[in-house]
Structure 1
């Protein structure tokens, strides 16, 4: 088992210039650099980009639906690293509604778990093929209020890693905490990100008026 170092790649203009941040969390076996390349396909030019790097390129060792103890202490360490990154951005004067989080696969699972345990008004959540973590969901650990945060939540049907049932549970849990969820299930789609998903994510990132 392992703990994760505080290892983050940053790209784009300084936060003092942009005033808004996008955190992207890579999947199992991938890298911070590879998930940052995803931003090339998104309207993210006016964001300061952050991508944390997992130790050994994996946030936790087993499936996100394995018994939680099998994924410890790596899972708690990963959640702590994400929390430290979020707090460091907010401490620089960025409002939470100008903070966006996204990820693919294992990174989407980690992002959804973190955000739902710490629900607040984020700018948006871009969860490409992911869902909340655990063999069964522990409802009372999800706290706070998303206050209308837009969430994109996707998977394939079937997907080799992320079942539709968990995506539906995740959408329901987030909606109970005040998120506005766009759930997309793509029949026969491989474990990847489609152009339509990028377009939907782009709409969230491009939504200037947050009310």
Structure 2
């Protein structure tokens, strides 16, 4: 196994994607020991599921949430809800390690203070993808988006303000964090289909923690 795929020494520090958009290479690595058990507890309480889009398609990415609000997709559209529709209970409380990492990342990117009330947890398998989209369901668009990558590598697409604008292709590795807000808050973004790979901690899987101020 080539561990350089997951923490390549050539990719360190920060990468600017826009005026108010940064990749913080490896920022989450010191937090992984606390993130993993919190993630496992979250999955037990609100398991991952593949939701249906407004058009009736099943998403290739499995999803769960934690915090005061969770993201929901079905035939009625995309929205935030305080209740997990699969369990009928409130979404799990956001783990302290999650919240502290999100605050830290926003501060490092110069976009703090940040108090997220929603964390979307996406699980990607090889071949799964996320099409270009804007995060537009949040009431507070003045707050940044903080996106944490764990597990196998992915190629993040960071585009313009129209879906057809050319998108940057940004490789993301275990522990990388992307933060965008301010002038860049409404940029289209997505993830290319993941290539087959195996991670020492997560196996053939990528976990993405996306923190938002939704309410």
Tell me the TM-score normalised to structure 1 length: 0.31
Greater helix proportion: 1
Q: Which has the higher contact order (CA 8 A, sep 6+)?
A: 2
Greater strand proportion: 2
